[in-house]
Amino acid sequence: MTADENVGVMRRAYEAFNTGDINTLVDLFDETAVWHLPGRSSMADDYQGRDATLAYFGQLAQETWLQMVTTAWSASSAAPRTETASTWMLPTASSSSSRTAG
């Protein structure tokens, strides 16, 4: 796959996530995919397989708010790469829940 094709796949994946297009995400993720989320949050884990990864995305959509997305694409054939940075906020408290982010 070329760098331009990789960029196209990533754009489709972000668009599918943002619009809740699960069918496209299913098509884009291999059934043996592993999604690694580092850190110490309650969501940090290795999600093994497409189903677990998509379940994580569902949890992410329900339990966080997207504060900001900054995306930089590099499709240079000399250094093909895709870089993204996102900031997600976990709710710290609400009137209906005593759950806090850790």
Residue spans of alpha helices (H) in 1-102 = 3-19, 22-28, 50-63
pLDDT per residue, tens digit, the chain (102 aa), is: 888 888 888 889 888 888 889 999 999 999 999 999 888 888 889 999 999 999 998 887 777 665 444 455 455 555 555 555 555 555 544 434 434 444
Tokens 């850790």 sit at which residue? 102
- Count of CB atoms situated within 10 Å of the CB of 74: 12
User: Hey, what amino acid is at 68?
Assistant: M
Question: What is the structure's pLDDT at 46?
Answer: 94
CA distances for 94 relative to 41, 51, 63, 65, angstroms: 18, 29, 12, 13
Tell me which fold the domain 3-89 belongs to. Answer: Nuclear Transport Factor 2; Chain: A, (3.10.450)
Whether the model clears a pTM of 0.85, i.e. scores above it, the answer is no
Residue 33: phi, psi to the nearest 5? -60, 150
Question: What is the structure's pLDDT at 41?
Answer: 82
Question: What is the structure's pLDDT at 14?
Answer: 84
CA distances for 6 relative to 3, 46, 84, 87, angstroms: 5, 23, 13, 23
Question: What is the structure's pLDDT at 7?
Answer: 85
List, in sequence order, every residue forming a beta bridge with 72; answer none if it has no partner. Answer: 83
What residue segments make up the domains of the chain, in order of their start?
3-89
